[in-house]
Amino acid sequence: MSMRQKIVVPVLLLAIIILGMFLVTWNTTAKQRDDGLVINLAGRQRMLTQKMTKEFLIFTKKRALSGEVDNQLAARLSDTMTVFSMTLHALTYGGKAPLSLDPSDTRFRICPKSKEPAFSQLKKIHGLWTPFEKQLNLGLKETGGTDGDESVLAWILTNNMPLLAEMNKAVVMMQEQSEKKIRNLLVTQLVAVIFGIALLIFCILVILSVSHRIQTIAETLNQNSERVNKHAGIISNASNVLADGASSQASSLEKTSASLKQISLVTKKNAASSRMADDLMKDTGQAVHRSSRRMDELADAMGSISKASKETSNIIQTIDDISFQTNLLALNAAVEAARAGEAGAGFAVVADEVRNLALSAAQAAQNTSGLIENIVDKIRDGSALVESAHRSFLHITENVDKAGELVDKIAGASEDQADGIEQVSFNVSEMDKIVRRNAAGSEETAAVSVEMKTEAGQMKQKISGLVGLVRGRGMISHSPGVYGDANDFSRTVGDQSRPNQQLLPKKKNGG
């Protein structure tokens, strides 16, 4: 069983015993008040018995003397009989009983007495009351003269004493039952007091034991508080150093982040320029490819012209051959015309003209052939130049394609580099934020460690006060602001149990 249970359980038992004693006493007192009223009603029954006998005696005497019935006295006697009957029934079986001599005044309710010793006595009284009531009613209605009244009166006077004696016995039994309840209550209270005293002694012993243990714990806490105070100073110094380092690191990271942002902007511009150069190289490559195709077409055209020039040269050669043959024919015709003499003179003129024409044609063919050969040579030289230019354009096209690929790769690498630098810049920014938060946390830790050191000193003072309180010397004040009473000790401990919301410094913007 823990120390708390050793204290709480007896205190709870003691509280339960006190509460039980209060409830039992209150219940018994309430029942005792009702029992006192019941005993008073039973005692009133004895008086009502005498009252009914007296009133009946007066009633019969007045009727014997005057010969007339006193209705007022008869009504009063009838009410008395009704009150007696109702009260007896309520005392025996439970129910409402009139508190006064008015039968309608039924404010008090009596519980049944079937389990009490007076129940059998009350039933015996019922057996005596039934004929007694019948005789009274007979006497009230009797009109037979004086002899009848005398006989009823004699019977009532004879049986009045036994009814009164039995009522006295019932009252005595009720009083004994009430006294027995009071004795039982006293015994119960005595046992409860003895048990409560035993619990109180046990609680005192437990409190003494707890006090000794609290003293031991307080001394241990006092020693621990000294160590905590020392360690709090070490933590405070380390936290200050850590806060300074974190602040310097945050400043360096901030500068690095700014530089990386500048590099990221420059790299993005280079990537954009590379991408534009790549686009220009692609346009240049397309233009070179188109020029190469035009050079191919030009080379083909030059080849076709060279071929046509060769064919024209062949035609000129054929013409030259025809002119030579024509010249030979003209010579042969002139020889034949000379042989013919006069007859062939006209023919000789024609042959001479043909020969002149053949020579002109041969001369023209020779000139044309020279021109064509010159043109063919130039065309050949042009074709060679076109072929060389074509090869140069092919080489340029290959170089442009390679340069375009390189520029494309440079553009892609620049974009990747820009993305990487941007990611690095973002990571450095995040690191800067984390370092700022760490710096702020270090500052908060330093502040908390300082406060913890202060509170450790205060705790040491309060523990010293607790030791003094346990030893009976009261609170010991070691410094201003520390009070020497138990109320202040409880208040201080309660204040220290609450979180201090003003220890942490405000966070810096952006951190």
Q: Which two tokens stand for residue 272?
A: 């954009």
- Report the topology of domain 190-511: Helix Hairpins (1.10.287)
**CA–CA gap between residue 29 and residue 39 (Å, rounded):** 15
503 touches 455 (CB < 8 A): no
pLDDT score for 147: 61
Bridge-partner residues for 97, per DSSP? 108
Buried b (16+ CB within 10 A) or exposed e, 352-370: eebbeebeebbeebeebbe
Cα separations in angstroms, 392 against 281, 297, 397, 486: 18, 15, 8, 108
The answer to whether residues 96 and 108 touch, using CB atoms and an 8 Å cutoff, is yes
Q: How far is CA 49 from CA 5, 36, 61, 70, in A?
A: 64, 20, 18, 20
- What Å distances lie between residue 412 and 273, 275, 282, 400, 415, CA to CA? 11, 8, 15, 18, 5
Question: How many angstroms separate the CA atoms of 325 and 358, rounded?
Answer: 8
Domain edges within the chain: 3-143, 190-511
Q: Whole-model pTM above 0.85? A: no
Straight-line distance from the first to the last Cα atom of the chain, in angstroms, rounded to the nearest whole number: 53
Q: What are phi and psi of 97, to 5 degrees?
A: -130, 140
**What is the chain's pLDDT, residue by residue, as a tens digit (511 residues)?**
565 666 677 777 778 877 877 777 777 666 667 777 788 888 888 888 888 888 888 888 888 787 777 788 888 888 888 888 888 888 888 778 787 777 777 777 777 665 677 788 888 888 889 998 888 888 887 654 556 677 888 888 888 888 888 888 888 888 888 788 788 878 887 888 888 888 788 878 877 777 777 777 777 877 777 777 777 778 777 777 777 777 787 778 777 878 877 887 888 788 788 778 878 877 887 887 787 777 777 778 877 887 777 777 778 778 878 877 887 787 787 777 777 777 777 777 777 778 788 778 778 877 887 787 787 778 778 778 877 877 787 788 788 778 877 877 887 887 788 788 778 878 877 787 887 787 777 777 777 777 777 877 777 777 776 666 656 554 444 444 433 443 443 344 344 434 443 433 444 444 3
pLDDT of amino acid 370 = 79
